[in-house]
Structure 1
Amino acid sequence: MIFQRIFHQLRSNKTLIILCVEVIIMMMGIGLVSPILPQYARTFGVNMTMIGMLITVFGIARMLVDIPAGRLTDKIGRRPVLIVGPLILSLGSIGCAISDTYWIFLAFRFVQGIGSAMYTTAAMVMLADVSTDENRGRLMSFYQGCVLLGAGLGPTMGGFIAQYFGLQAPFYAFAAMGVIASFWAYFSLPESRPSIVKPALRAARSKSNKPVKALLRNTDFILISLITFGVFVTRQGAQNQILPLLASDRLNSNEAQIGFALTVVALIQLVSIFVSGKYSDRAGRKGFITIGGYILVISLLMLTAVDSVRFLLLSCIVMGVGIGMCGTISSAYVADIIPRENYSIGMGTYRAISDLGFVLGPVFLGWLSDIHSFGLALIFNAIFLLVVLVWFQVKAVESRSPAY
Structure 2
Amino acid sequence: MDTVPNAARTAEWRVIAPMLVIVLFVMCGMGMVIPVLSLYAQSFGVGPALIGLIITVFGVARLFVNLPAGILADRYGRRALLWGGPLVLGGASIAAALAEDFAVLLVWRFVQGVGSGLYMTGAMVAIADLGDSRSRGRRMGAYQTALLTGASIGPLMGGLLAERWGYTAPFWGFAAVSGLAALFAFLALPETRRPANANAGADTRPPERGGVRDLLRQRGYAPVLLVTFGVFFTRTAAQWQLIPLVAAHRFGMAPDAIGLALTLSAGVTLVTTPLAGWLADRVPRRGLIVASAASVAVALGLIAACPTVPLFWGALALLGLALGLGGPASSAFAAGCAPDGRLGPTLGLLRTAGDVGFVAGPLVAGFAVAVSDTAFGGGEAAGLFVNAALMAIAAAAFAAGTHRLSPLPKETTA
Flag whether TM exceeds 0.5 (same fold): yes
Is 2:387 aligned against 1:385?
A: no
Once the 2 structures are TM-superposed, how far is the Cα of residue 18 of structure 1 from its aligned partner?
A: 0.9
| 2:154 paired residue number | 154
Once the 2 structures are TM-superposed, how far is the Cα of residue 69 of structure 1 from its aligned partner?
A: 0.8
| 2:171 paired residue number | 171
Whole-Å Cα distance in 2 between the matches of residues 299 and 280 of structure 1?
22
Once the 2 structures are TM-superposed, how far is the Cα of residue 213 of structure 1 from its aligned partner?
A: 2.0
Letter matched to residue 173 of structure 1? G
| 2:380 paired residue number | 374
Letter matched to residue 235 of structure 1? R
162-171 vs 39-48, which moves further = 39-48
**Aligned-partner SS, 2:366:** helix
| 2:43 paired residue number | 43
**CA 11–275 in structure 1, closer or farther in 2 if over 3 Å, else same:** farther
Whole-Å Cα distance in 1 between the matches of residues 204 and 283 of structure 2?
35
Query: What are the superposed Cα offsets for residues 273-293 of structure 1, whole Å, 9 maximum, x if unpaired?
Result: 122211220112000010111
Is 2:368 aligned against 1:362?
A: no
Letter matched to residue 354 of structure 2? S
Q: How does 1:278-357 map to 2 (within 5 A)?
A: 278-357=278-357
Letter matched to residue 139 of structure 1? R
Contact 1:211 1:342 in 2 (8 A): no
**Aligned-partner SS, 1:90:** helix
| 1:82 paired residue number | 82
Whole-Å Cα distance in 1 between the matches of residues 78 and 12 of structure 2?
20
Whole-Å Cα distance in 2 between the matches of residues 215 and 331 of structure 1?
15
Letter matched to residue 113 of structure 1? G
Contact 1:261 1:312 in 2 (8 A): no
41-50 vs 14-23, which moves further = 41-50
Once the 2 structures are TM-superposed, how far is the Cα of residue 52 of structure 1 from its aligned partner?
A: 1.5
**Aligned-partner SS, 1:282:** coil
Contact 1:83 1:182 in 2 (8 A): yes
Once the 2 structures are TM-superposed, how far is the Cα of residue 253 of structure 1 from its aligned partner?
A: 1.2
| 1:234 paired residue number | 234
Once the 2 structures are TM-superposed, how far is the Cα of residue 340 of structure 1 from its aligned partner?
A: 4.8
**CA 202–78 in structure 1, closer or farther in 2 if over 3 Å, else same:** closer
Whole-Å Cα distance in 1 between the matches of residues 180 and 311 of structure 2?
42
**Aligned-partner SS, 1:141:** helix
Whole-Å Cα distance in 2 between the matches of residues 327 and 276 of structure 1?
8
| 2:5 paired residue number | none
**CA 131–103 in structure 1, closer or farther in 2 if over 3 Å, else same:** same
Letter matched to residue 265 of structure 1? S
93-102 vs 110-119, which moves further = 93-102
179-188 vs 327-336, which moves further = 327-336
TM-score (norm 2): 0.90
**Where in structure 1 are there 5+ consecutive unaligned residues?**
1-8
Letter matched to residue 313 of structure 1? W
306-315 vs 337-346, which moves further = 306-315
**CA 340–309 in structure 1, closer or farther in 2 if over 3 Å, else same:** farther
| 1:63 paired residue number | 63
Whole-Å Cα distance in 2 between the matches of residues 124 and 340 of structure 1?
17
Once the 2 structures are TM-superposed, how far is the Cα of residue 219 of structure 1 from its aligned partner?
A: 4.5
Letter matched to residue 218 of structure 1? Q
TM-score (norm 1): 0.92
Once the 2 structures are TM-superposed, how far is the Cα of residue 77 of structure 1 from its aligned partner?
A: 1.4
Contact 2:280 2:288 in 1 (8 A): yes
Once the 2 structures are TM-superposed, how far is the Cα of residue 203 of structure 1 from its aligned partner?
A: 8.7
Query: What are the superposed Cα offsets for residues 119-142 of structure 1, whole Å, 9 maximum, x if unpaired?
Result: 000001101100011111111111
Contact 1:283 1:401 in 2 (8 A): no
Kindly report the root-mean-square deviation, in angstroms, between the aligned alpha carbons of the 2 structures.
1.8
Once the 2 structures are TM-superposed, how far is the Cα of residue 87 of structure 1 from its aligned partner?
A: 0.9
Q: How does 1:65-214 map to 2 (within 5 A)?
A: 65-195=65-195, 204-206=206-208, 209-214=209-214
Contact 1:10 1:139 in 2 (8 A): no
Whole-Å Cα distance in 2 between the matches of residues 202 and 305 of structure 1?
50
Contact 2:194 2:204 in 1 (8 A): no
Whole-Å Cα distance in 1 between the matches of residues 182 and 206 of structure 2?
32
How many residue pairs get matched? 389
Letter matched to residue 380 of structure 1? V
Whole-Å Cα distance in 2 between the matches of residues 171 and 157 of structure 1?
11
Contact 2:134 2:412 in 1 (8 A): no
Whole-Å Cα distance in 1 between the matches of residues 370 and 45 of structure 2?
23
**Where in structure 2 are there 5+ consecutive unaligned residues?**
1-8, 197-202, 373-378
Whole-Å Cα distance in 1 between the matches of residues 332 and 55 of structure 2?
27
Query: What are the superposed Cα offsets for residues 152-172 of structure 1, whole Å, 9 maximum, x if unpaired?
Result: 111011001000000011001
Query: What are the superposed Cα offsets for residues 4-25 of structure 1, whole Å, 9 maximum, x if unpaired?
Result: xxxxx78961111111000110
Whole-Å Cα distance in 2 between the matches of residues 315 and 203 of structure 1?
46
Once the 2 structures are TM-superposed, how far is the Cα of residue 310 of structure 1 from its aligned partner?
A: 2.0
**CA 202–263 in structure 1, closer or farther in 2 if over 3 Å, else same:** closer
**CA 103–134 in structure 1, closer or farther in 2 if over 3 Å, else same:** same
**CA 271–340 in structure 1, closer or farther in 2 if over 3 Å, else same:** farther
369-378 vs 147-156, which moves further = 369-378
Letter matched to residue 103 of structure 2? W
**Aligned-partner SS, 1:281:** coil
**CA 202–270 in structure 1, closer or farther in 2 if over 3 Å, else same:** closer
**CA 143–340 in structure 1, closer or farther in 2 if over 3 Å, else same:** farther
| 1:4 paired residue number | none
**CA 32–205 in structure 1, closer or farther in 2 if over 3 Å, else same:** closer
